[in-house]
A and B are shown apart, each in its own frame.
Chain A
Amino acid sequence: MTGRRADDLIRFTCKAMNCLIILFLLTPIAVTTLMAFDARDYLGPLPPPALSLRWFSAFFSDSYFLNGLITSVKLACLSVTISLFAGVATAYAVDRARFRGKEALVSFFLSPLVVPPVVTGFALLLFLSKIGVIDGFARLLCGHIIITVPYTIRATLASISGIDKSYTEAALILGANERHAFWDITLPLARTGIVSGAIFAFAVSMDDVAVSIMLTDAKTYTLPIALISSMRANFNLSIAAASVMLMAMTILLIVLLEKLVGLNRAIGQGTFR
């Protein structure tokens, strides 16, 4: 029965490991959340004696943070919209075309991102200065399109190429032209893929630091950048409050995605490596 005991031991160790890792991942988040509701105006020992929403109201009365938040949301909405169009158009074209090297192009689009965001940001900074784009928002928009478009292309390509060609052919032989078939058949059948791509792209844009930090100027900056620089300047717990709100947004998006496609499926397709 020693084999059996060894099995039990291994199983126990695995469980313990599991708990430890979860603890390791969750503790900082829990501490941050707790601190965001701390009523004291200095960093005192945990747990806080009283809770309040003061850091949240401090966040919303700080024009520096608010400015960052507004820029981030505008940037995310605009860049996701643009890369959604670009992604759907690219995926549709690639899926339909027959040319040499198509396989290579598809796996290039579907492969994990290989260029580090810092490199993308720096390269873009140099390039945009060279061609004379100095407006902060325009620069950020370029950067965010670059980091979000792979997500929309991948999600759309995976779902469009998964659609049986005979659906489109059935529409054509029934009398619909190619445009009708695209609107009636391709788009609705690829919808879940397109939406989940957009949600991921939105989260990526809201979260980005590496590319944005290269392209920010004094007047135009995103929320993550605002948080980082204010942390250096004068640390206070509005940053914890902002983190809690960003986290809430992420959870909301995940729930939305789960509702729409099932998160496991979206990740399992290998779309979001």
Chain B
Amino acid sequence: MQTSNEAVLTFDNVAKSFGGVHAVAGLSFSAVAGETLAILGPSGCGKTTTLRLIAGFEEPDIGTIAIGRESMIGKRPYERNVGLLFQHYALFPHMSVRENVAYGLKYRKWPKAEISSRVDEMLRLVQLEDFGGRRPQQLSGGQQQRVALARVLATKPKLVLLDEPLSALDAKLREELGAELKRILTEVGSTTIVVTHDQDEAMSLADRIIVMNRGGIDQQGSPSEIYSRPATRFVATFIGRSNWIGGTLKLNHSGGFANVVMESGTVLTTGNPGLGDEVAVKVGIRPERIAIVGTQEDDRMSGANQFPAMVVNAISMGAENHYHVICSAGTLMVVEPGGRGMSFSRGDRVKIGFRAEDCVLFPSRDAA
């Protein structure tokens, strides 16, 4: 496995538009050797365009793209040594599994015997040794994906690109193949870029995530950083679930804390976000960061913000229990681990609480 911090892929201020639509606007990032980088964003934010720019199916209008130290501007796709796993796999229907996997090696002028042993090795890696003679149409979706992956990895590309690798599979298979994909990528030690709109896919595969929004980057960081310290309101809403509470910021210069006063007069204690005094803000709080207890168990409650509340909705989702509670801060969603039945039911009087550090603040004028 490569561990050096050398950049394998560098985007420098890359822009691409299609007839006035800015698909990618001033994108700069890099991927280092051996890492799996996810580019995550909503539909239409420019993920596929980014991937196609790397692969050479599109040329940037401005900016430069480099693989290693070599500029890719003007290079044809077959001159780039990049592997791309297509969303619908694009396995050649008129070739057998073996022929598909061998295809790239043929044009790298490998000797026949070496091609054959490399194909064997790849099919073993994806655990499809006995399927070499089949046509792609004779395989299940999951098997097709593994063949496509074997075809991509066979040529030892400098960079592996995955376009929504799990989205074509059903939920059960997705989890299984996600783990399998991660194992294979780690085993091969390839530098990988995954493009997806599905946060679970990004979280489960990637070492690092870039959140894309409208052709640009909102945040990059580790999955847990992005989840617990979203840099923009867009990131906070796009990743995971949040309760949003509106109010006015009152800075208080003792310690790192601040207060947010809601229209109803209720005061929240939050971290200090570095915004000005009296700014209208939205406070975000994750449902699983809110504790919920019965009214008589006051002593178990922790955190600066505590409110008496009433349960208006209680839903068991199996692994999680979802509650909607009403309190002086509004209607909030609370999630607690399930599995041992529901602690509360509709109409129960409860107490909720959350810590100031778990609150994220953004100016109200920021788009969600």
Partner of B107, one of A164, A166, A170, A180: A180
From known contacts A166-B88, A173-B83, infer whether A188 and B94 are also in contact, taking CB-CB under 8 Å: yes
Quick one: which of A187-235 are within 8 Å of B by CB?
188-189
Is the CB–CB distance between A189 and B90 below 8 Å? no
Partner of A174, one of B57, B76, B93, B104: B104
From known contacts A174-B104, A174-B107, A174-B151, infer whether A167 and B92 are also in contact, taking CB-CB under 8 Å: yes
From known contacts A166-B86, A166-B88, infer whether A173 and B94 are also in contact, taking CB-CB under 8 Å: no
- Determine whether B253 belongs to the interface, using a CB cutoff of 8 Å to chain A: no
Render B70-106 as a binary contact track against A, CB cut-off 8 A, 1 for contact: 0000001110101110101010111000000001100
**Given the complex of chains A and B, what is the CA–CA distance between A203 and B104 in angstroms?**
41
- Determine whether B108 belongs to the interface, using a CB cutoff of 8 Å to chain A: yes
Give the secondary structure class of B's interface: loop
- Determine whether B55 belongs to the interface, using a CB cutoff of 8 Å to chain A: yes
Render A156-175 as a binary contact track against B, CB cut-off 8 A, 1 for contact: 00000000101101111111
Is the CB–CB distance between A173 and B92 below 8 Å? no
Is the CB–CB distance between A170 and B90 below 8 Å? yes
CB distance from B158 to the nearest CB of A (A): 12
Is the CB–CB distance between A172 and B90 below 8 Å? no
- Determine whether A177 belongs to the interface, using a CB cutoff of 8 Å to chain B: yes
**Given the complex of chains A and B, what is the CA–CA distance between A171 and B56 in angstroms?**
13
**Given the complex of chains A and B, what is the CA–CA distance between A189 and B95 in angstroms?**
11
- Determine whether B155 belongs to the interface, using a CB cutoff of 8 Å to chain A: yes
Is the CB–CB distance between B93 and A189 below 8 Å? yes
**Given the complex of chains A and B, what is the CA–CA distance between A266 and B82 in angstroms?**
39
- Determine whether A185 belongs to the interface, using a CB cutoff of 8 Å to chain B: yes
Give the secondary structure class of A's interface: helix
> Across the interface, which residues of B come within 8 angstroms of A189, CB to CB?
93-94
Is the CB–CB distance between A169 and B77 below 8 Å? yes
Which B residues lie at the A interface, using CB under 8 A? Answer: 55-57, 76-78, 80, 82-84, 86, 88, 90, 92-94, 103-104, 107-108, 151, 155
User: What are 10 A-B contacts defined by CB distance under 8 Å?
Assistant: A166-B86, A169-B55, A169-B57, A169-B84, A172-B78, A174-B83, A174-B155, A175-B78, A185-B92, A189-B94
Task: List 17 extra interface pairs beyond A169-B84, A173-B78, CB under 8 A.
Answer: A164-B88, A166-B90, A167-B90, A167-B92, A169-B86, A169-B90, A170-B90, A170-B92, A171-B92, A171-B103, A173-B83, A175-B104, A176-B104, A176-B107, A177-B78, A177-B107, A185-B92
Which A residues lie at the B interface, using CB under 8 A? Answer: 164, 166-167, 169-177, 180, 184-185, 188-189
A-B CB proximity, top 9 nearest: A174-B104, A175-B107, A166-B90, A170-B90, A172-B77, A173-B84, A173-B77, A175-B78, A188-B94
